């Protein structure tokens, strides 16, 4: 846990508490010991499962049981692209194999000329709800704010927001009163802490770290639920 002070214009100085309890990973992130990560205080791992209609993360299946054996929560995310949405959903569900305890998330961010549209994100989230009977989390930052602009969108607002913003003043787009999870650093940009025992990150030492404002018990209760 780290307490940081914000002096951004227009805001009263005050502590922003970062509770580093969740890490998101993909195959290039190195792992030496999930048990050490759990002892460090990490409560949940969200791992990339798929990209687009055909991409699969080779490390996803291999890391699932070791994470669970270490006593941590397991989650899966899909990197959305401009490919056929039905095929993306099929790829994700067949690869991620989410059970009732698996967090599922859509990663909505830029992907070069293959970036998912807002309408495709709606379709993806709708199909996941129909298939699993619960809503996925949506991960987003700048792109989500640009696409939604100043609109208050009830559909997206009904899904929990996993906010990506590397600064001391995290702010959700107005469709959400508050983010659910906050990715505050990619290991380079953003505030400390940036390191986790047992998970050194990629070859450059970068690691996506996430803060959650509630207790570990609340995190576990909300992890795979259908609550916005």
Tokens for 51, please give them: 């990209």
Pairing of strands 181-185, 14-18: unpaired
Exposed/middle/buried for 56, CB within 10 Å: 0-12, 13-18, 19+? middle
Condensed to tens digits (0 to 9), the pLDDT of residues 102-128 reads 999 999 999 999 999 999 999 999 999
CA distance 190 to 196: 15
Tokens for 182, please give them: 């906050």
pLDDT at position 227:
66
pLDDT at position 4:
42
CA distance 96 to 164: 22
pLDDT at position 15:
56
What average pLDDT does the chain have? 93
pLDDT at position 226:
77
pLDDT at position 228:
57
Mean pLDDT across 63-74:
98
| Contact between 102 and 96 (Cβ < 8 Å) | yes
Condensed to tens digits (0 to 9), the pLDDT of residues 156-215 reads 999 999 999 998 899 999 999 999 999 999 999 999 999 999 999 999 999 999 999 999
CA distance 115 to 12: 37
Domains (range + CATH), the chain: 18-222 (3.20.20.80)
| Cα-based distances in Å from 26 to 16, 61, 221 | 28, 11, 25
Condensed to tens digits (0 to 9), the pLDDT of residues 87-102 reads 999 999 999 999 999 9
Under the banding of pLDDT at 50, 70 and 90, the label for residue 12 is very low
| Contact between 47 and 77 (Cβ < 8 Å) | yes
* Whether residue 3 has pLDDT greater than 70: no
> What phi, psi does 220 have (nearest 5°)?
-65, -40
Give one DSSP letter per residue of the chain, joined into a string.
-EEEEE--TTS--EEEEE-EEEEEE-TTSB-S-HHHHHHHT--EEEEEEEETTTEE-THHHHHHHHHHHTT-EEEEEEE-BSS-HHHHHHHHHHHH---TT-EEEEE---BTBTBPPHHHHHHHHHHHHHHHSSPPEEEESHHHHHHHTT---HHHHTS-EEEE--SSS----TT-SS-SEEEEESSSSSPSP--BTTB-BSTT---EEEE--S-HHHHHHHTTS---
């Amino acid at each position: 846990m780290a307490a940081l002070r914000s002096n951004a214009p227009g805001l009263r100085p005050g502590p922003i508490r970062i509770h580093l309890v969740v890490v998101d990973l993909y195959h290039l992130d190195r792992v030496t010991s999930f048990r050490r990560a759990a002892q460090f205080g990490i409560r949940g791992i969200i791992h990339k499962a798929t990209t687009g209609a055909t991409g699969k993360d080779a490390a996803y299946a291999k890391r699932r049981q070791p994470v669970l054996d270490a006593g941590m929560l397991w989650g899966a995310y899909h990197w959305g692209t401009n490919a056929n949405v039905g095929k993306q959903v099929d790829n994700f569900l067949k690869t991620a194999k989410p059970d009732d305890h698996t967090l599922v998330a859509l990663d909505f961010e830029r992907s070069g000329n293959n970036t998912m549209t807002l309408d495709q994100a709606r379709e993806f989230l709708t199909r996941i709800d129909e298939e699993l009977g619960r809503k996925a989390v949506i991960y987003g930052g700048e792109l989500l704010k640009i696409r939604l602009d100043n609109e208050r969108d009830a559909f997206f607002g009904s899904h929990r927001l996993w906010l990506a913003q590397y600064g001391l003043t995290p702010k959700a787009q107005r469709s959400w009163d508050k983010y659910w999870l906050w990715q505050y650093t990619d290991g380079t940009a953003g505030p400390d802490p940036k390191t986790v025992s047992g998970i050194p990150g990629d070859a450059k030492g970068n690691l996506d770290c996430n803060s959650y404002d509630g207790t570990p018990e609340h995190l576990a209760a909300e992890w795979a639920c259908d609550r916005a």
